[in-house]
Chains A and B, each alone.
Chain A
Amino acid sequence: MRFSRVILHRLRSLFRRSRENADLQREIELHFEQLVKESIASGMSESEARIVARRQFGPVAKTKEECLDARRLNLIENFVRDVRYALRMIRAKPSFSVPALLSLALGIGANIAIFSVVNAVLIRPLPYPDPEKLVGVFNSATFSGQVVKAWPLSLDMYTAYKENAQGFEEFGVWSAGAAAVTGAGDPEQVATVTMTHGVFRALEVKPYLGRWFSSTDERSGAQKTVILSYKYWQRRFGGDGRVLGRLVLIDFVPHQVIGVMPRSFEFLSLAPDVFLPQTAASGAPGSQDANQSGVARLKSGVSVAQANQDIARVLSIWKSSNRFWRQAAEELRVKPNIHSLKQDVVGDVAAVLKILMGALAIVLLLVCANVANLVQVRAQARRDEFAIRAALGAGWARIARQVMIESLALAALGGAAGLAFAYAVLRLLIIDGPADLPRVGEISIDSTSIFFALSCSFLSGTLFGWIAVLKSGLSSRLQNARGATQNTEQLRAQNALVVAQVALALVLLVAAGLLVRSFIALSAVRPGFTHPEQIQTIRLFIPEAQIREPERVAQMQVEILHDIAAIPSVTGVAFATALPLELEHKNGVPVAAEGKTPVGRIPPNRTIKQISPGLFAALGTRLIAGRDFTWNDPLSQRRVAIVSENMARENWGEPRDALGKRIRRGTDGPWSVIVGVAENVYDDGVDRQPPEVVYFPGVRRGATFAIRSSRAGTESLLQEIAAKIHAVDPSLPLARVRTLSELYMFTIARRSFALVLLGIAATMAVTLSIIGVYGILAYAVAQRRREISIRLAVGAEPRTIKALFLRQGLILMCIGGGIGFVLARVLSPWMASLLFSVRPFDPLTYGISGSVILAAALAASYVPARKAASLNPIEALRAD
């Protein structure tokens, strides 16, 4: 092909530059020699002939240059020369390039960092083959008027779906949990995912070693099996290749290792240590509990909508055949809710990331505006240089190209520094970021991020480079550069940049301010417990395989409780099936109130907790009416219960009136008498409504201990507690060792993550706009020295001069502020999901943000204004 040959030729020319030069020399010499020979032949002496030939040939150097031009060699060489010159200029003028590079590095770096997160979490497809065919399978249901979108399936439903669904290629259900691993080594609690064999098949990730689960692993009598995660295999078995077939004691039952998943495998947003087969069959007790998450791979050509229709059909057949669910499904308005799996994994973090990305794009714009201002001021200072260059024969296009290349070099350097900055930030983010950020392990700077960095640099460089070219007056005023004065058009352009900066800074300030207000509101919430940093939590699970009799389990728990209470500094200890904020043990059970729930209807769902006496005292939860449980309650024949304040108010109006009333689980359980009403506990996180909770005495095999001590979180206390527990049973693993405040921080992690980043963005924005306002006024003062001096000389008050510049600063700020308010009003509803008890149009936030900008603008204009007022007219005029 002709085109490829041309390219090849050019490349060859480029790399063989010196040879090309020599060839050209030889070619021209040959021609020259011929001219000489010709002249000699016509009778001239050799020296005469040479002179004639030289005259005939004309300027050799020019011809050679034109030949090289024709080969496009000079174009590239000029470019290299320009770049070298640009780098030299950047190095030579640190007062200009350091602030420019610094702001570019910060602006671009922050954008790359957040983009990398967005890329990993939102853009990059899930790490499974054909991820677009993967769907999460849930139902939606309505509980007392509230629609629950991702209501899990029951095992019964799984069986029905599996047998009748036509749109699924593979389908399975799973549930997350925890188990104790004992035997060789320390006992430990591991995170588990119990699944049917269809889950791995749907995800289509082959094991690294061994095999997937099959339906035989799910039979109740079969040998128990387990698949390890790569990490757990490395940690517990040191990556032993002969691990297959070995037996592991999980909850004191031997499980045979049948596989190891690959290192790169991630199970949705979880990081379980081991995978267990679902052995509970449908129809067995508990198989009606809705606690299974579904995942399916759609057949090709089947859309999500079609799958939903298909499952709706299956659901209606199943409802009519199932006695228990027939009524429940009607009342709860159960509908299939199948959606793309990515939605499940990413969750509601998308909103946060989009807001941050927007904020950082604004910061980058601010950086560009600032650098453009710097470049422009510098271009004006360089007019003399440009004029001399033009006088020496450089075309204006050549000079413009030079300025452009300088800007791009600046942007490229800034972008490179930004990339390094982003790399460092990401390391921090992965270590210290919110642990609930989905796919956090996948965050990295990949080719997409680097491409993004390049585009950021290139676009910003082109942007401010273009401004510099336009503002250096290259096209029109090269000739009269000596007499150039500040003209109104330039001033207007600079003013526009400053106005834009102020406006954008205000938008970011408002966003950060709204979040700060949300945080203040959040910390004002009384969460239903006090001083969570003094509450140490430890979860114990006593499996059936180890202790068969429930009575013995209860006895052990009480023994441990008394032993821990004896530790010095422990002021309260109690246990419960779930402590506040332990979302992983959240449940929902229908609870009927006598005389309040219509007979024959499914009662509303409540959170149920089984607790030991003293829990409220240990947590600092106030009892509003009645009494706490006592150790005698289990002994007496009377069944008792405590309800939360909101539950009491909903049913009986006043908390006091709830005492003595009766409630029961489901529609046919035994009645329990309410003996106490406890303060509301923000069990789902302080930013959610507190749920209605019913407390019953007594505990199951799994219990979390709450230990109040001034030494909570210290190693010494933990050792003492562990010693007490292991004195009762040395094989019990301790899990969830943390303080309640860690849990508390965890629930607000996403918001505080957003706050920190938005706060940084807003601070950067305000700083940049202060620099912007200061820069433009200082420049204006320098430009108008002459005018100011004359004014002062003819008797103007310094005060008036000062006011003149202050006014200019304030006018710019007011216009910018006005635009900023409008922008913020338009944009702030976007962050509604991050706010807590603050409206997006919170007047206080808007007021404070406006004042901050006003103060900043005043401070930024005051210094140059004072400088103008204190000009010495005689000196200033003499200097001109």
Chain B
Amino acid sequence: MPKPSDLLQGTLDLLILKTIAREPLHGWAIAKRIQALSGDVLSVGQGSLYPALHRLEQQGWLRAEWKDSDLGRPAKVYSLTREGRKQLERELNSWNRLSSAVQLLIATA
């Protein structure tokens, strides 16, 4: 099994925010969703996912609730706050700038 490439520092927040933006999800589903949507290229380790979730919650960008889930047990479901939506906006902008800059560099260098 090929090891998915390490996540670029700082992009994890963006991925989490973007994933939850569509609908509230619990931790397991977030990890699965990221993996699936990236075509199995990106894999988020539990060791970085949960601290990231707690940090984002602490910063007021995520809200967490215990809800019944598709797993058959109550799970901690994360959703975006209004602040979180704004943050996603910011992160997207900066990501776009960064990736286009990298593209440019690769194309011209």
Contact surface of A with B, Cβ cutoff 8 Å: 2, 5-6, 9-10, 13, 23-24, 26-28, 30-31, 33-34, 56-59, 62-63, 66-72
A28 surroundings in chain B (CB, below 8 A): 46, 50
B26 surroundings in chain A (CB, below 8 A): 30
B52 surroundings in chain A (CB, below 8 A): 70
Verify if B73 is at the interface (C-beta below 8 Å from A).
yes
- With A59-B47, A63-B47, A70-B51 already in contact, the answer to whether A30 and B73 are too (CB < 8 A) is yes
> Please, how many angstroms separate the alpha-carbon atoms of A373 and B89 in the complex?
55
> Please, how many angstroms separate the alpha-carbon atoms of A124 and B109 in the complex?
73
Verify if B28 is at the interface (C-beta below 8 Å from A).
yes
Contact across chains for B50 and A63 when beta carbons are under 8 A apart: yes
Verify if B55 is at the interface (C-beta below 8 Å from A).
yes
Contact across chains for B59 and A66 when beta carbons are under 8 A apart: no
Contact across chains for B50 and A58 when beta carbons are under 8 A apart: no
> Please, how many angstroms separate the alpha-carbon atoms of A66 and B58 in the complex?
13
Binary interface profile of B, 60-104, with partner A (CB < 8 Å = 1, else 0)? 100000100001010110000001000000000000000000000
A59 surroundings in chain B (CB, below 8 A): 47
Q: Looking at the complex, which one of B45, B51, B59, B73 makes contact with A67 (CB distance below 8 Å)?
A: B51
Nearest residue, chain B, Cβ from A20: B54
Contact across chains for A6 and B59 when beta carbons are under 8 A apart: yes
Contact across chains for A58 and B58 when beta carbons are under 8 A apart: no
Contact across chains for A9 and B60 when beta carbons are under 8 A apart: yes
What's the least CB distance linking B19 to chain A, in Å? 16
> Please, how many angstroms separate the alpha-carbon atoms of A34 and B70 in the complex?
11
Contact across chains for A70 and B60 when beta carbons are under 8 A apart: no
Nearest residue, chain B, Cβ from A10: B58
B76 surroundings in chain A (CB, below 8 A): 23, 26-27, 30
8 pairs, A vs B, C-beta closer than 8 Å: A2-B60, A27-B76, A30-B73, A34-B71, A59-B47, A63-B50, A67-B51, A72-B58
> Please, how many angstroms separate the alpha-carbon atoms of A13 and B59 in the complex?
13
- With A2-B83, A23-B76, A71-B54 already in contact, the answer to whether A58 and B46 are too (CB < 8 A) is yes
Contact across chains for B27 and A71 when beta carbons are under 8 A apart: no
Contact across chains for B75 and A30 when beta carbons are under 8 A apart: yes
Q: Looking at the complex, which one of B46, B55, B66 makes contact with A31 (CB distance below 8 Å)?
A: B46
A31 surroundings in chain B (CB, below 8 A): 27-28, 31, 46, 50
What's the least CB distance linking B78 to chain A, in Å? 10
What's the least CB distance linking A645 to chain B, in Å? 87
> Please, how many angstroms separate the alpha-carbon atoms of A429 and B60 in the complex?
55
Contact surface of B with A, Cβ cutoff 8 Å: 26-28, 31, 45-47, 50-55, 57-60, 66, 71, 73, 75-76, 83
What's the least CB distance linking B105 to chain A, in Å? 33
A72 surroundings in chain B (CB, below 8 A): 58
A6 surroundings in chain B (CB, below 8 A): 58-60
Of B52, B54, B83, chain A has the most CB atoms within 10 Å of the CB of B54
> Please, how many angstroms separate the alpha-carbon atoms of A71 and B60 in the complex?
11
What's the least CB distance linking B20 to chain A, in Å? 15
What's the least CB distance linking A765 to chain B, in Å? 51
Contact across chains for B28 and A34 when beta carbons are under 8 A apart: yes
Contact across chains for A62 and B71 when beta carbons are under 8 A apart: no
A26 surroundings in chain B (CB, below 8 A): 76
Q: Looking at the complex, which one of B45, B46, B58 makes contact with A9 (CB distance below 8 Å)?
A: B58
Q: Looking at the complex, which one of B27, B31, B47, B59 makes contact with A58 (CB distance below 8 Å)?
A: B47
> Please, how many angstroms separate the alpha-carbon atoms of A59 and B58 in the complex?
23
What's the least CB distance linking A363 to chain B, in Å? 46
> Please, how many angstroms separate the alpha-carbon atoms of A63 and B31 in the complex?
15
Known: A30-B75, A34-B28, A66-B50. 17 other contacts (CB 8 A): A5-B60, A9-B58, A9-B60, A26-B76, A27-B27, A27-B50, A27-B76, A31-B50, A58-B45, A63-B50, A63-B51, A66-B51, A67-B50, A69-B51, A70-B51, A70-B58, A71-B57
Nearest residue, chain A, Cβ from B86: A2
Nearest residue, chain A, Cβ from B31: A31
A63 surroundings in chain B (CB, below 8 A): 46-47, 50-51
Judged by DSSP, the binding face of A is: helix
What's the least CB distance linking A63 to chain B, in Å? 5
B55 surroundings in chain A (CB, below 8 A): 70
> Please, how many angstroms separate the alpha-carbon atoms of A69 and B55 in the complex?
8
Contact across chains for B58 and A71 when beta carbons are under 8 A apart: yes
> Please, how many angstroms separate the alpha-carbon atoms of A71 and B55 in the complex?
6
> Please, how many angstroms separate the alpha-carbon atoms of A24 and B45 in the complex?
16
B54 surroundings in chain A (CB, below 8 A): 24, 67-68, 70-71
Nearest residue, chain A, Cβ from B56: A70
A2 surroundings in chain B (CB, below 8 A): 60, 83
A68 surroundings in chain B (CB, below 8 A): 54
Nearest residue, chain A, Cβ from B46: A57
A-B pairs with lowest CB-CB distance, top 7: A70-B55, A66-B51, A70-B54, A67-B54, A58-B47, A34-B28, A27-B76
Contact across chains for B58 and A30 when beta carbons are under 8 A apart: no
B73 surroundings in chain A (CB, below 8 A): 30
> Please, how many angstroms separate the alpha-carbon atoms of A70 and B60 in the complex?
12
Nearest residue, chain B, Cβ from A37: B71
Nearest residue, chain B, Cβ from A63: B47
> Please, how many angstroms separate the alpha-carbon atoms of A28 and B49 in the complex?
11
Nearest residue, chain B, Cβ from A59: B47
What's the least CB distance linking A721 to chain B, in Å? 83
What's the least CB distance linking A456 to chain B, in Å? 36
> Please, how many angstroms separate the alpha-carbon atoms of A26 and B46 in the complex?
14
What's the least CB distance linking B50 to chain A, in Å? 5
> Please, how many angstroms separate the alpha-carbon atoms of A2 and B26 in the complex?
23
A5 surroundings in chain B (CB, below 8 A): 60
Nearest residue, chain B, Cβ from A26: B76
> Please, how many angstroms separate the alpha-carbon atoms of A602 and B28 in the complex?
106
A69 surroundings in chain B (CB, below 8 A): 51
B45 surroundings in chain A (CB, below 8 A): 58
- With A62-B47, A63-B46, A67-B50 already in contact, the answer to whether A30 and B60 are too (CB < 8 A) is no
> Please, how many angstroms separate the alpha-carbon atoms of A70 and B28 in the complex?
19
What's the least CB distance linking B89 to chain A, in Å? 15
> Please, how many angstroms separate the alpha-carbon atoms of A311 and B55 in the complex?
71
B31 surroundings in chain A (CB, below 8 A): 31
> Please, how many angstroms separate the alpha-carbon atoms of A72 and B50 in the complex?
14
What's the least CB distance linking A20 to chain B, in Å? 9
What's the least CB distance linking B54 to chain A, in Å? 4
B58 surroundings in chain A (CB, below 8 A): 6, 9-10, 13, 70-72
> Please, how many angstroms separate the alpha-carbon atoms of A2 and B84 in the complex?
11
What's the least CB distance linking B60 to chain A, in Å? 5
What's the least CB distance linking A72 to chain B, in Å? 7
> Please, how many angstroms separate the alpha-carbon atoms of A34 and B31 in the complex?
11
> Please, how many angstroms separate the alpha-carbon atoms of A2 and B63 in the complex?
12
A33 surroundings in chain B (CB, below 8 A): 71
> Please, how many angstroms separate the alpha-carbon atoms of A758 and B104 in the complex?
77
B71 surroundings in chain A (CB, below 8 A): 30, 33-34
A58 surroundings in chain B (CB, below 8 A): 45-47
Nearest residue, chain A, Cβ from B58: A71
B59 surroundings in chain A (CB, below 8 A): 6
What's the least CB distance linking A60 to chain B, in Å? 9
What's the least CB distance linking A618 to chain B, in Å? 87
Of B50, B57, B71, chain A has the most CB atoms within 10 Å of the CB of B50
B46 surroundings in chain A (CB, below 8 A): 28, 31, 56-58, 63
What's the least CB distance linking B14 to chain A, in Å? 17
What's the least CB distance linking A563 to chain B, in Å? 92
What's the least CB distance linking B17 to chain A, in Å? 15
> Please, how many angstroms separate the alpha-carbon atoms of A72 and B57 in the complex?
12
Of B53, B55, B58, B71, chain A has the most CB atoms within 10 Å of the CB of B58
> Please, how many angstroms separate the alpha-carbon atoms of A56 and B47 in the complex?
10
What's the least CB distance linking B88 to chain A, in Å? 15
What's the least CB distance linking B62 to chain A, in Å? 11
Nearest residue, chain B, Cβ from A29: B73
B75 surroundings in chain A (CB, below 8 A): 27, 30
> Please, how many angstroms separate the alpha-carbon atoms of A62 and B48 in the complex?
10
A30 surroundings in chain B (CB, below 8 A): 26-28, 71, 73, 75-76
What's the least CB distance linking B29 to chain A, in Å? 9
> Please, how many angstroms separate the alpha-carbon atoms of A57 and B52 in the complex?
15
A70 surroundings in chain B (CB, below 8 A): 51-52, 54-55, 58
